[in-house]
Amino acid sequence: MTRRRLVTIALLAVALLVAFAFAVVIREANVGGEPNAEVPLKAHAREAGIDVGTAAEQNALRDYPGYRTELAREFSTLTPENAMKWDTLEAERGELRWEGADAAVRFARDRDMLVRGHTILWHNQLPRWLGEGDWTRAELRRVLRAHTRRVIGRYRGRVAEWDVLNEIVADDGKGLRESLWTRVLGDDFAGDVLRWAREADPDAKLYLNEIAADGISPKSDAYFALVQALLAEGAPVDGAGFQAHFNLDGVPDGFEENLRRFSDLGIDVRITELDVALPDGAGDDELAQQADIYAEVARACLRVERCRGITVWGFTDRFSWIEATQPGFGAATLLDRDLDPKPAYDAFAQALRDGGG
Ligand code: G3I
């Protein structure tokens, strides 16, 4: 075979491979977009007097038209999943990267969606210069105050609520979680950060947001005592978030009672990060159990006076954090990898339609 023919065949093979790869990318990027039901979740939620939202994954928001279409159709609030975290915004000290957060806020505001900012102070996803820095109390307070004012100030009037303090309660309920913040600032930083946040945007609602404090437990008791103490000192606390990262163990005992005791303090409560992780290889029974858990959470929120809404932490298994961080678990969301509804979607919608009954 002549050299010329060999080159032609090789070029053809490469062209076919590129075309195939391109087709896969296009197909991948075009998942979803078809309506999941006659009436979207946000309409059922609005009818029931709450809102329903999702965390938005910034690459999916950028690259997948179907993801954008489904998100806008089903949800009325949006929380940037990672784009507003300190390690994303300022990986290098003083070098701010706003594009992901700006894109999420723009997407939401263009669709009249409420934006929940997430998050100002957290022990996780800190840039190395901060997390590994050798700080005096005064220096770290200055850095934290500047960050709080800069981030909340940038979105003043566009972000309606902030998870200002994320997961600061110790898991055993004994005081605050040991972190850079407690090591350097001590245990009395919460009120100051909330006051700095209020100065940066007087109209934004300021939340604490806790993980694994969903039922009645030593941790949720400590969370409750912290919020009471902050309110007693006059700190600007507008709401308490309950992340509700569940699995097939189900909704913890006292979930509704726990929401209600915070609501009875006169602050708003929200389920802020709902997902229900399934063990790999889950079948119809596990999907049905998952559906029941989503529905139970919806009913609990609808029965608590100041429960303002429910945010799911991702709405499709294709972009859920669970697979990447919890080996052996996944399929935690309302829609499957093709953005088609799972039993959980239908049960969640039905519970919203039924109200808190
Ligand atoms: O951005 C980098 C990318 O450059 C790199 O190539 C890639 C692989 O290493 O990692 C990417 O960073 C990942 C980041 O998500 C953005 O995708 C981190 O490794 C990964 O750990 C991080 O996971 C996030 C997790 O918080 C971190 O703890 C999840 O997406 C996010 O859903 C999850 O969300 C938290 C809430 O903010 C607070 N409540 C708990 C919840 C679950 O942990």
- pLDDT digit string (tens) for 13-37? 777 776 666 666 666 666 887 888 9
* Residue 300, beta-bridge partner list: none
Which residue of the set 70, 90, 161, 273 is catalytic? 273
Report which of 253, 249, 240, 349 is spatially closest to residue 302, judged by C-alpha positions: 349
Backbone angles phi, psi at 225, to 5 degrees: -65, -40
Q: Is 273 in the pocket of ligand 1 (CB under 6 A)?
A: yes
Q: Is 321 in the pocket of ligand 1 (CB under 6 A)?
A: yes
pTM above 0.75, yes or no: yes
Three-state secondary-structure class, residue 220: helix
CA distance 341 to 352: 16
Report which of 52, 30, 50 is spatially closest to residue 41, judged by C-alpha positions: 52
- pLDDT digit string (tens) for 55-110? 999 999 999 999 999 999 999 999 999 999 999 999 999 999 999 999 999 999 99
Report which of 114, 118, 191 is spatially closest to residue 151, judged by C-alpha positions: 118
- pLDDT digit string (tens) for 101-124? 999 999 999 999 999 999 999 999
* Residue 77, beta-bridge partner list: 53, 114
Contact 117, 84 (CB under 8 A): yes
Which residue of the set 74, 167, 210, 296 is catalytic? 167
Question: What is the band of 12 on the pLDDT scale with cuts at 50, 70, 90?
Answer: confident
Q: How far is the CA of 64 from the centre of ligand 1 (A)?
A: 19
Neighbours of 108 (CB within 10 A): 27
Contacts of 55 (CB under 8 A, 6+ apart): 78, 79, 80, 81, 118, 273, 311, 312, 313, 314
Contacts 24+ apart (CB under 8 A), 130-136: 130/86, 130/90, 130/93, 130/180, 131/180, 135/180, 135/184, 136/184
